[in-house]
Structure 1
Amino acid sequence: MAPLTIETPHVAAEVLEQRNSLLDKFEKGSSQQPQVLRDADAAAYRKMRAEGTNGFVPPRFLPEAENITIRTRDEQEMKLRIVRPTSGKSHGCFLHFHAGSLVFGSAAGQDFYLARLANDLGLTAVSVDYRLAPEYPFPKSQEDSVDAALFALSSAGIEKLGGPLRLLVGESAGAYLAVRVALSLRDHHNVPVAHKLAGLICSYGTYDLSYTPSLLSHTRNIIVNRENLQLCTEAAFPKLSTMDRRDAKYSPLYADLRNMPPALFLCGTEDPFIDDNVFMASKWSLVGNHAELKLIPGAGHAFTLIPAGEVQNAGLSEIVKFAKALLLL
């Protein structure tokens, strides 16, 4: 068993009050937006988000970001979004898996977030435009993500992306995919991930698709709510019962987690997936892997992705601190 670092950073009462006010603001905004798979089908919902209609804010794009395409195992073209550091030389790359409950989101949805990490870490950000449910149910998202990792590990990928693959990074469903990719590389592609990768950075991920107590008891609608998370899970894993989804090939909390790289599990205390992260960090450590669990007081879901000032910076600082320590090893 490896030591598990658990930290809930102290914040002043006035800062916590500000964070709670921000959560109230986000909840008011979320209540005025259509809900995916309840009020709109997946395609219509993605269109609203991309165009900034119905209360959504459209994504902002960096003009210097690049798109390249690779071939998937079923001979489809898949886009990778490349954001290179501008403040110095790149010393490799990190593979990024975007949020969106495996139903929405895209590789081009978080350019500024990726640029900050790219510059702070001196790595090229490579975001994966994996296929989405319900049109492409699981395991397509995992297969596409693994194919992107195999490309990044190849000599052609190292040349194209400016250096070796160092980190797997993801938020929400993307954190789930980061873990699934590491497991698949180890189990199906003979990649010694504990030595090949510096680490994983997993922000507010879901790891038990049969639902943890914190999700089942979650009553707020801050960016996400219990109903839409469950609707998306059922769309991504159709024809599977809740108990079926406890199988290790779906829920990584039930997988053999031995010989995994160091991992950061970052989550807000107001996030419906807080139990997933507490449980996953504990199991990661119990089998001998290095794990750090950082719980940010007064932070809700997606807090590192949303321009939210102080609380966003608090989360990004934890990511950068953890990653820099790994990259120096």
Structure 2
Amino acid sequence: MKEAATKYTAGEGLRPFTSNELGRARRLNALLGLLPRYHTDRRWNAITIQALVRTIQFLVPDKLRRHNEIAGGRAMSSDRRIGVRLILPKGVRRGLYVHFHGGAWVMGNARLDDSITRPIARHCEMLVAGIDFRNAVDDRLDLTLQDCKMTIDWLVDHLAELQVEHIILGGESSGAHLAAEALLHLRERGRAGVVAGFVSMCGCFDLTGSESLRRSNSESLLINGQSALRNLRRLTPSLSGRPAKGPLFADLSNLPPALLIAGALDPIVDDSLSMAQQWQQQSGNADCVIFPEAAHGFNRLPTKLAARANSLVREWMSTTIAKVWLGKS
């Protein structure tokens, strides 16, 4: 059996976390602890937030479009068109990063993730495709998955037109689940050879509910843990077979290198640990980095830990895509 995935901690595989970094994170966590937790199983709040996001995005000019950093696109099938937000790098295109946004499968869109994806386009010199799949506010997660599979097929079919040869798949939270399913779909179709890597931030891979999620309570930061578990129970009846359990229960052999990042305070931290362990055992190329004092979605918070996590993702992606772009794999 191959070695289990590495759980990096301070002083092991990473520059040690400083007292200043951890102190600032703890102070922010104390503030977050005073705020109400978001309940992901309540559809009315997802619909309300999504309507607010769309209104703001309609009223506020698209900064990337104004600076000619974005190109519109649509993945098309015989009966469905899905928006693809293409963020253009300056100069050479080393590859394509396909990003699946988070939002508990029920809210969010590609533009909302510009603060994450735009720096990837710039730093990694990669074309970025943010996918605007349908959100499962009707609990039809099967249709959301169908959108993601159709879009990844379309993108792979059009790599030459996009002027790239290899892709990296990734996402945050529920988006990491969708990215993993897209990768497994490509492998089933014999097309996973174009995928250079997979990256996850606070990903959800066990749709049955990981141990850390089942142990969680209302004290977990930002999101209510038990509400998140109920959300899974609302969504999974639309799926059948292995997909109803999640990517963790799939055959994870012959997959590209993976980087999984999570926060130690995340109710679904076990998803990343278990997925990385299975990936490492079956494919031998997974790393898992657990950030201390970090909640679910911590990479979006105004802390140095968040900056380090986002920088780590970009550095890993740059190195990974360079290996295939320069023919060193």
What does 1:173-184 correspond to in 2, within 5 Å?
173-184=174-185
Structure 2 vs 1, CA of residues 158 and 144 (structure 1 numbering), >3 Å: closer, same or farther? farther
Q: What secondary structure does 2:272 align onto?
A: helix
The residue aligned with 1:69 is 74
Q: What secondary structure does 1:199 align onto?
A: strand
After superposition, what is the alpha-carbon deviation per residue over 1:216-257, rounded to whole angstroms, capped at 9, x for unaligned?
1223342322133124323322367xxx88x35541111111
CA–CA distance in structure 1, aligned partners of residues 237 and 310 of structure 2: 34
The residue aligned with 1:55 is none
CA–CA distance in structure 1, aligned partners of residues 98 and 182 of structure 2: 10
Structure 2 vs 1, CA of residues 42 and 6 (structure 1 numbering), >3 Å: closer, same or farther? closer
Structure 2: which amino acid aligns with 1:116?
P
2:47–2:137 contact (8 Å) kept in structure 1: no
CA–CA distance in structure 1, aligned partners of residues 45 and 269 of structure 2: 28
Mean CA deviation greater in 254-263 or 63-72 = 63-72
2:201–2:262 contact (8 Å) kept in structure 1: yes
1:172–1:205 contact (8 Å) kept in structure 2: yes
What is the TM-score normalised by the length of structure 1? Answer: 0.85
Answer yes or no: is 1:84 the counterpart of 2:82.
no
After superposition, what is the alpha-carbon deviation per residue over 1:42-73, rounded to whole angstroms, capped at 9, x for unaligned?
42232234457xxxxx998533333211214x
Answer yes or no: is 1:318 the counterpart of 2:309.
no
1:134–1:236 contact (8 Å) kept in structure 2: no
The residue aligned with 1:38 is 42
Answer yes or no: is 1:199 the counterpart of 2:197.
yes
Report the count of equivalent residues: 310
What does 1:200-279 correspond to in 2, within 5 Å?
200-219=198-217, 220-238=219-237, 247-248=242-243, 250-279=245-274
1:60–1:111 contact (8 Å) kept in structure 2: no
CA–CA distance in structure 2, aligned partners of residues 12 and 151 of structure 1: 44
Which one of 265, 271, 275 corresponds to residue 280 of structure 1? 275
Structure 2 vs 1, CA of residues 65 and 2 (structure 1 numbering), >3 Å: closer, same or farther? farther
1:130 Cα deviation (Å)? 0.9
CA–CA distance in structure 2, aligned partners of residues 7 and 287 of structure 1: 20
What is the TM-score normalised by the length of structure 2? Answer: 0.85
CA–CA distance in structure 2, aligned partners of residues 151 and 239 of structure 1: 24
Structure 2 vs 1, CA of residues 12 and 263 (structure 1 numbering), >3 Å: closer, same or farther? same
- What RMSD over aligned residues (CA atoms) do the two structures have, in Å? 2.5
1:150 Cα deviation (Å)? 1.3
Structure 2: which amino acid aligns with 1:224?
I
Structure 2 vs 1, CA of residues 266 and 60 (structure 1 numbering), >3 Å: closer, same or farther? farther
Answer yes or no: is 1:28 the counterpart of 2:34.
yes
Structure 1: which amino acid aligns with 2:87?
V
1:158–1:165 contact (8 Å) kept in structure 2: no
Structure 2: which amino acid aligns with 1:190?
G
CA–CA distance in structure 1, aligned partners of residues 149 and 318 of structure 2: 24
1:85–1:118 contact (8 Å) kept in structure 2: yes
Mean CA deviation greater in 204-213 or 132-141 = 132-141
After superposition, what is the alpha-carbon deviation per residue over 1:268-299, rounded to whole angstroms, capped at 9, x for unaligned?
11111111111110110111330001111111
Structure 2 vs 1, CA of residues 60 and 216 (structure 1 numbering), >3 Å: closer, same or farther? farther
CA–CA distance in structure 2, aligned partners of residues 325 and 92 of structure 1: 12
Percent of residue pairs bearing the same amino acid type = 24
The runs of 5 or more residues in structure 2 that have no matched partner are: 11-15, 324-329
After superposition, what is the alpha-carbon deviation per residue over 1:9-59, rounded to whole angstroms, capped at 9, x for unaligned?
33123321210111232343444xx6454382542232234457xxxxx99
Mean CA deviation greater in 100-109 or 7-16 = 7-16
CA–CA distance in structure 1, aligned partners of residues 76 and 237 of structure 2: 26
After superposition, what is the alpha-carbon deviation per residue over 1:92-123, rounded to whole angstroms, capped at 9, x for unaligned?
21100000111111111111211101111110
Structure 2: which amino acid aligns with 1:225?
N
Structure with the higher helix share, 1 or 2? 2
CA–CA distance in structure 1, aligned partners of residues 85 and 202 of structure 2: 22
The residue aligned with 1:158 is 160
1:60–1:110 contact (8 Å) kept in structure 2: no
CA–CA distance in structure 1, aligned partners of residues 168 and 137 of structure 2: 28
1:82–1:124 contact (8 Å) kept in structure 2: yes
CA–CA distance in structure 1, aligned partners of residues 48 and 83 of structure 2: 21
Structure 2 vs 1, CA of residues 50 and 231 (structure 1 numbering), >3 Å: closer, same or farther? farther
Structure 2: which amino acid aligns with 1:256?
D
Which one of 113, 125, 136 corresponds to residue 122 of structure 1? 125
Which one of 292, 299, 307 corresponds to residue 294 of structure 2? 299
Structure 2: which amino acid aligns with 1:62?
L
TM superposition outliers: structure 1 runs of 4+ over 6 Å: none
The runs of 5 or more residues in structure 1 that have no matched partner are: 53-57
